Amino acid sequence: MEASVVSPVRVAIVGTGHVGATFAYALLLSGLAAEIVLINRDAADAEGEAMDLAHATPLVRPARVWAGGYADCAGAAVVVITAGATQGEHDSRLDLAEQNGAIFRSIVPQIARYTTTAVLVVATNPVDVLTYATIQLSGLPPGRVIGSGTILDTSRLQSLLGERLGVDPRSVHADVIGEHGDNQVPVWSLATVGGAPVRDAARSLGVPFDAGTERELAKATREAAHRVVDRKGATYYAVATGLMRIVEAIVRDQRTVLTVSTLADHEPGDDGICFSMPAMIGAQGVHRIVQLPLDADERHALRRSTDTLRKATSAYDRR
Ligand code: NAD
């Protein structure tokens, strides 16, 4: 029999906690991947998750799901990294840089040892610093490393805005850019609903909406993770769905524009930092970043965001 020339789409997931396991489940249901390999420091946990997922395959779509090692990253189209510690109730995401930076120093070289062709997608926090770390540690072209960045904050803002205006959140376009963290920047000047600027759309819909509403929704978006963690201990459904959207854009070469963290903003004498801007994503990772015509306040806020990340990234670099 001739060998098949079709390679099954393989996605490797490193870290099988809340985020990794939820993403694996969403991926299984989507049918996008024929092979899903779960890698975890805690091998029994990865095995348990793989068994549980494999038991669902007859009811959804065929896929081979197994607990593996870094060697299984060979041939993967995408490796999604979710391993690491999570923020405590009062921590900021940047507080995790030291602990998760050390974890990345141990795992990324192992991934890079087995694949030079996969796109690496990072979810672990602080995601902007660790996306930068992954580029440095893997030696991959920067476009092949994508941080989930503010895809989650953008989704949260669109969800809150849709709720406030009483419209399907998919009819809302509003991006959050910059740091996935306390210095994120909602881009109100370019936010639209059904093609109309958001304040005009709100007026047509008969919903009061002014600068105070924008501040209130921005705060709810910024504090969303803490609000969820206070109630149920962790966030994972929305981020896992954001990871799904990124992986779909890669696996199907969709050239989708999503707010994700990529290497940008080079200053003379540094290697740049990672932060989120709308970026076109396809099979090779990030093709292009879309530059936004921000207003003066947004440019100022983005500068504050990138200054914070520059400090956090150089602190990571010095370790
Ligand atoms: P979790 O504690 O449930 O799972 C973490 C997993 O990482 C565990 O399975 C653990 O065994 C594994 N792990 C730890 N060290 C490892 C190593 N050296 N090698 C392999 N596996 C290792 O945490 P979670 O809730 O799944 O969150 C994971 C990360 O995702 C955290 O950093 C969290 O802050 C982040 N997160 C990011 C976003 C985002 O929008 N980017 C959203 C939610 C959570």
Question: What's the mean pLDDT in 67-94?
Answer: 90
Taking the centre of ligand 1 as the mean of its atom positions, its distance from the CA of residue 27, in whole angstroms, is 17
Our answer to whether residue 18 is catalytic in this structure is: no
- Measured CA to CA, the distance from residue 172 to residue 169 in angstroms comes to 5
Residue 130 pLDDT grade (very low, low, confident, very high; cuts 50, 70, 90):
very high
User: Residue 270 above 80 pLDDT?
Assistant: no
Q: How confident is the model at residue 190 (pLDDT cuts 50, 70, 90)?
A: very high
Ligand 1 geometric centre to CA of 244 (Å)? 16
Dist. CA 87–CA 189, nearest whole Å: 31
Residue 305 scores a pLDDT above 70: yes
Instruction: Grade residue 94 by pLDDT with cuts at 50, 70 and 90.
Output: confident
Answer with the residue of higher pLDDT: 116 or 270.
116
Residue 77, pLDDT score: 98
Q: For residue 90, what pLDDT is reported?
A: 65
Residue 1, pLDDT above cutoff 60: no
Q: 155 in ligand 1 pocket by Cβ < 6 Å?
A: no
Mean pLDDT of the chain: 95
Atom of ligand 1 nearest to the CA of 42: 11
Ligand 1 within 6 A of 240 CB?
A: no
C-alpha 87 to ligand 1 mean position (Å)? 10
> Is 150 touching ligand 1 by the criterion CB < 6 Å?
no
**Over residues 289-311, mean pLDDT:** 96
Q: Which atom of ligand 1 is nearest to the CA of 127?
A: 41
* pLDDT reported for residue 70: 98
Query: CA-based angle 305:257:242, to the nearest 5?
Result: 75
Q: Is the CB of 151 under 6 A from ligand 1?
A: no
What's the confidence (pLDDT) of residue 54?
A: 98
Average pLDDT over residues 14-21: 98
Active site residue: 55, 180, 287, 300, which one? 180
Does ligand 1 have an atom closer than 6 angstroms to the CB of 313?
A: no
Q: Is the CB–ligand 1 distance for residue 262 below 6 Å?
A: no
- On the question of pLDDT at 251 being above 90, the answer is yes
Q: Which CB contacts under 8 angstroms, 24+ apart, belong to 220-226?
A: 220/156, 220/160, 221/153, 221/156, 221/157, 221/160, 221/176, 221/184, 221/186, 222/153, 222/182, 222/184, 224/153, 224/156, 225/87, 226/89
* pLDDT of 43 above 80: yes
Output the residue whose Cα is nearest ligand 1's atom 3: 17
Instruction: Record the pTM.
Output: 0.96
Q: Distance between terminal CA atoms of the chain?
A: 54
pLDDT category at 5 given cuts 50, 70, 90 is confident
Position 186 confidence tier, pLDDT thresholds 50, 70, 90: very high
Mean pLDDT to the nearest integer, 198-202: 98
